[in-house]
Amino acid sequence: MYRVAAIGGDGIGPEIIAVGKQVLDAASDKFGFEIVWEDFAIGADRYLETGDLLTEDDLNDLSAFRAIYFGAIGDERIAPGILEKGILLALRFYFDQYINLRPVKLLDGVWTPLAGKTPADIDFTIVRENTEDFYVGLGSRFTGREHREFSLSRDLYSVKFGLDVQSDSEEIAYQIGVLSREGSRRIVRYAFDCAAVRKRRLTSVDKANVLSDVYGLWRDVVHEVAAGYPTVSTEFSYVDAITMWFVKNPEWFDVVVTPNMFGDIITDLGAMIQGGLGLAPGGNINPDGTSMFEPIHGSAPKYKGLGVANPVATIWAGSMLLDHLGEHAAAAAVLSGIEKSIRDGVTTRDMGGDATTAGVGEAISRYILGGEV
C-alpha cells in the first residue's frame, strides 16, 4: 500500500489530477497494490479566501508522503509569480527536490515538428538541477548608491554577498546565480547513474565560455564524477549550441544534465520536440525524501470545467510516480496505455481528436486492465 498526496491546484488542475488518479488506480488493480490518496486544497481559491499559500501544517503533513501528485498552479485573479513561487517553487525547495527529471520521448502516433524524425530518433532524458543557480532568489532593483548584504543559509552552504554599486543609471537590477560543489555533484552523479543504464552517453550543458566562474565549477564537477563512470562517454555543450542540436540531431542524445536555468529553457524545447506541452511530464525528485510529479504545462483557466484539457502529461507524470515507488511494471503499462490510446485516436482536440479529458482517462484505464475501448 502506498499513501500519495494529491494537489489539484488551479484551473484544469483538479480535472487532470482526477483522471490521473483513475488511471493509476487501474494500474494498481492490475498489478496488485493499493494507492491511498489524500487530497490537499492548496491553490488560488484558498489563497484568496485565507491568504495562505503554504502553511506549516501543509508542509508537516506533506512530509509524511514519499510522493505528491500535482496538477497545475496559476490563476488570472492573482498576479503572476505569487502562486508559482509561493507554492510550486516553495515545495521544491522545502523538500529539497534537487532533481528535475524530464523524459523527452516521441510516442508512437504523435506528430513532431521535426521533419523526418520518428519515435526511434527522439528518446532521451534531461536531468535538470532544481534548487540552485539563478533561482535561489538573490536579487534586487535599486537606484543611486547603496550597499547591500545578503545572507543565504541552506543545508548545503552559507554565503554572504556584499554589493556596493554607483551608477548614473536611473535604476539597476541584478540577480545572482549560485552553484555549490555539493549541489552540482549530487545532480551530476544522478545523471551518470541514469546514463549507465541507458545508452551510456552523457551530455553536460553550460555556458562556461562566458560565465566561467559559476559554470567552470560545474564543469570541474562533471569531470570529477565522470572519472567514476568509465563506461559512460561524456561530452560538453554550450546551451546555445545544444538548442540547435536538439532540432537537427535529437537521436544523438541519451542523458542531458544541466544547471537549473538552462534546464528550464531546454526542457520546453524538448517538450515541443515530443509533441507539445500536453505530452510533457516532469518529476521533482528527492531520492531520500518527498518527491513531486506533475505535468509541465500551466493551469489553462479558460478551459477550466470544459472537459477538453489533455490529461496525457499528467497521466505520464503518474507513470513516473509509479516508477519512483518501485512499481516498474505498472509504470510501463501506463505509458503503453497512453500510446495505445493515441494510436487508436482517443485524443483530445489539441491532438486532432474529439475525446474528453475523462474519456482519455477511461480509455487508458481499460487498456491497462486488458479490455478494449
Cα–Cα distance for residue pair 344/68, rounded to 1 Å: 31
CB under 8 Å to 263, separation ≥6 — which residues? 100, 102, 126, 128, 129, 130, 205
Catalytic residue among 135, 190, 215, 367: 135
Catalytic residue among 25, 193, 220, 268: 268
Distances (CA, A) of 337 to 119, 128, 143: 16, 27, 57
Catalytic position from the list 207, 303, 304, 344: 207
Q: Rounded to whole angstroms, how far apart are CA atoms 235 and 256?
A: 10
Three cell numbers written together for 78: 492573482
Residue 240 known to be catalytic: yes
- d(C-alpha 66, C-alpha 291), whole Å: 6
Active site residue 268: yes
The Cβ-side half-sphere exposure at 84, using a 13 Å CA radius, reads 12
Residues with Cβ < 8 Å from 281, sequence gap 6 or more?
102, 103, 293, 294, 295, 296, 313, 314, 316, 317, 319, 320
Contacts of 85 (CB under 8 A, 6+ apart): none
52 tagged catalytic: no
In sequence order, the β-bridge partners of residue 6 are: 39, 69
Indicate which residue of 193, 264, 344, 350 is catalytic: 264
Catalytic residue among 52, 61, 240, 354: 240
**Cross-strand partners of 141:** 173
135 is catalytic: yes
The catalytic residues are: 135, 207, 240, 264, 268
